[in-house]
Structure 1
Amino acid sequence: MHKFLIHKKGDHVGVATRDIEIGEKVIGVYMDDDSIIEVTANRAIPLGHKIAIAGLEPNGSVLEYGLPIGYAPDGIQIGDYVHTHNIKTLRW
């Protein structure tokens, strides 16, 4: 059973549909074609929060819905909890 959803192919993050525990191997489903991906969580990720499904270099742009939502000053590894502590918004 999946534990996160990815809005669009090419996105760097998925959204947790259930709480995810640290070290847990979880399945995500791409909403645009129902394909799946498996990721191991590096940290606990609460329901509704983001998990990285792609690694990013420092200052890399973070994509969700196929659009940039922010950038990762220190980079991101697959399985990271993605939130305000490791991305900066593009809104302001």
Structure 2
Amino acid sequence: MGAPHLLVHDHADNVGVVVVEGLTAGTTMLCVVTHDNSSFELVSRADVPIGHKIALKDISSGETAIKYGEDIGKFVADIEKGAHVHTHNLKTKRW
């Protein structure tokens, strides 16, 4: 196994975090689940900066975003598997 492109904390998460610089659309990413060190592949649908999130499945507007096993916000737009998750489609529930 090579170096991962995306880290996911738990199998229940629906977003993962990009851990490489310069991730481009069309990249087949190595995704590692840190809970059990399992891995899977996912194709990035967009250029995504390091530290930003990517959807692990198709998600509907109104669904809850789960990262590190925690509720981090609500999706405000439908999003496809492999798409960039950021402020344009996800809002925090903090304010």
Q: TM-score with structure 2 length normalisation?
A: 0.90
CA distance in 2, matches of 1:60, 1:78: 14
Aligned to 2:18: 16
Aligned residue pair count: 92
| 2:63 maps to which of 46, 60, 65 | 60
Aligned residues of 1:6 and 1:31 also touching (Cα < 8 A): yes
Q: Percent identity?
A: 35
- Alpha-carbon distance in 1 for matches of 2:69, 2:20: 23
**Partners of 1:6 and 1:28 within 8 A in 2:** yes
Mapping 1:1-92, distance limit 5 Å: 1=2, 2-19=4-21, 20-92=23-95
Deviations 1:24-83 (A, max 9, x none): 111110000011121111111111111111221121111011111111111221101111
CA RMSD of superposed structures (Å)? 1.0
Structure 2 residue ranges without an equivalent (≥5): none
How far apart, CA to CA, are the structure 2 residues paired with 1:26 and 1:53? 11
